[in-house]
Amino acid sequence: MSRFVFATLGSLGDLHPYVAVARALAERGHQVVIATSEYHRADVERADIEFAPAGPSIPELDDYPTLVRKVLDVRSGPEYLIRHLIMPHVRSSYEDLSRASSGADLLISHPLTFALPLVAQKSRLRWAATVLFPLGLMSCYDPPVIPAAPWLTKLRVLGPKPHRLLFSLLKRVARKWEAPLRALREDLGLPPSGEVAMFEGQFSPLRNLGLFDPQLAEPQPDWPPHLRVCGAPIYDGVATDPGLREELERFLAAGEAPIVFALGSSAVWMAGDFWDQAAAAARQLGRRAILVTGPVKLENLPEGVRAFPYVPYSMAFPRAAAVVHPAGIGTLAQTMRAGCPQLIVPVAFDQPDNALRAAKLGLARVLPFKKVTAGRLASELAILLARPEYSREARAIAGALAKTDGAARAADELVACIRPDHANPALQRTAASG
């Protein structure tokens, strides 16, 4: 039996993939720990996975809705996230992860757990890295949508050179944000590194796992070495209300397939009047609808429109006429497996890029979140539901993904990392890397 320690930071979309892989490892008889914010302790422990605290603790930073709004700002969000939420706590995060990593055979990083590679190097432990979505690879040959400058997608026809220059400029900016990380490295007596943690510094010399579905991105010449695209690890979460599934089942069985509106675990905190617009769009279309509203409680909804604080996606999405969502990678993965057409309302970070990739697959239409109105929702959904090609492509992708078990594949790859034939060379490379 081996001991695996996952480090992650962020919303439920940053937690659930690791819970899925952790459960797959536990089923193989291994010990698994997820080190993350206290905010997620209950979610980890309900999944029967050992929890270890690793800061920063989200509730201590700001009230959660305010924090989400700041992080999801397309222009200032990335800088706020790195400079104000992560870097001031990088030393305490290092200490937390050092304690959690005691006795570990393998450490597994999230793209934002910048202290974990330092823990691995200082303790001479093997580590693997994960990439949650194609944008994280920042490929010049398959350039992602940059939320603050979506017009840059027009430069793709010019080949990799424009984006190579752009990424070089972005690295210079990010390097300034990472000064506390370099200071910590120096204080630990580790050799200096020219890598930028947000870019090439996030990748492991041993193994890098793409925890997204292969249909979203083809391999590129500038992908990091030792990258395996495993497919998305699927985990629904655990409903704390025992009657929720029965209530959802009754609604699903009571009429035609509804449209499901879901904003994931982050955008739901800045929904504004989205739910009112969604309900009005459903009424305009004469369709039943499910609104997955999280903390928001709605009253006086139209007949045939029902609000739930949470639903198991794997239960609701396959029985939906269409799903409206922002394209967080976890929600997108669930919707692709459901085989239903999608209207994507991206907000920030990876969502605009994920949305474009889903649209290119022919199973989705895109309406930016900031442009949502009842009329536009109704218009886009009417097209989506009237054209059979969207449903046809959605079913084809779902059929292909039925054979993809991202959690099992990732677990197999991680177990392979601790085989004796991988140990010495990888450990040497890890000790020499940042």
Q: What is the pLDDT of residue 214?
A: 97
Nearest CA among 131, 204, 167 for reference residue 432: 204
Cα separation, 94 vs 114, whole angstroms: 9
Task: Please list the residues that pair with 208 across neighbouring strands.
Answer: 129, 227
pLDDT(426) > 70? no
Q: Report CA-CA distances (Å) from 166 to 77, 78, 83, 160, 213.
A: 18, 16, 21, 10, 26
141: tokens are: 């040959």
Q: How many residues does the chain have?
A: 434
Q: Domain 244-401 is in which class?
A: alpha beta
pLDDT tens, residue by residue, 277-304? 999 999 999 999 999 999 888 988 999 9
| pTM, two decimal places | 0.94
262: tokens are: 């879901």
Written as one string, the DSSP assignment of 319-377 is G-SEEEE---HHHHHHHHHHT--EEE---STTHHHHHHHHHHTTSEEE--GGG--HHHH
**Chain-wide mean pLDDT for the chain?**
93
Cα separation, 143 vs 164, whole angstroms: 9
Edge-to-edge strands of the sheet including 259-262? 305-308, 289-292, 259-262, 322-325, 342-344, 364-366
pLDDT(386) > 60? yes
Contact predicate 117/200, CB 8 Å? no
Tell me, yes or no, if the two domains 3-232+405-432 and 244-401 fold the same way: yes
CATH fold label, 3-232+405-432: Rossmann fold (3.40.50)
Residue 353 burial class via C-beta count within 10 angstroms: exposed 0-12, middle 13-18, buried 19 and up: buried
Cα separation, 361 vs 347, whole angstroms: 20
Q: What are phi and psi of 12, to 5 degrees?
A: -60, -30
Nearest CA among 94, 93, 53 for reference residue 188: 94
Q: What are phi and psi of 328, to 5 degrees?
A: -55, 145
Task: Please list the residues that pair with 51 across neighbouring strands.
Answer: 34
Nearest CA among 330, 327, 311, 307 for reference residue 319: 311
Cα separation, 357 vs 364, whole angstroms: 9
Q: What is the pLDDT of residue 94?
A: 98
Domain range annotation of the chain: 3-232+405-432, 244-401
Q: What are phi and psi of 279, to 5 degrees?
A: -65, -40
Q: What is the pLDDT of residue 239?
A: 61
Contact predicate 18/33, CB 8 Å? no
pLDDT tens, residue by residue, 82-123? 999 999 999 999 999 999 999 999 999 999 999 999 999 999
Q: What is the pLDDT of residue 61?
A: 63
Q: How large is the C-alpha radius of gyration of the chain?
A: 21
Contact predicate 17/233, CB 8 Å? yes
Task: Please list the residues that pair with 403 across neighbouring strands.
Answer: none
Q: What is the pLDDT of residue 420?
A: 66
Mean pLDDT for 151-178 is: 95
Residue 427's pLDDT band (cuts 50, 70, 90): very low
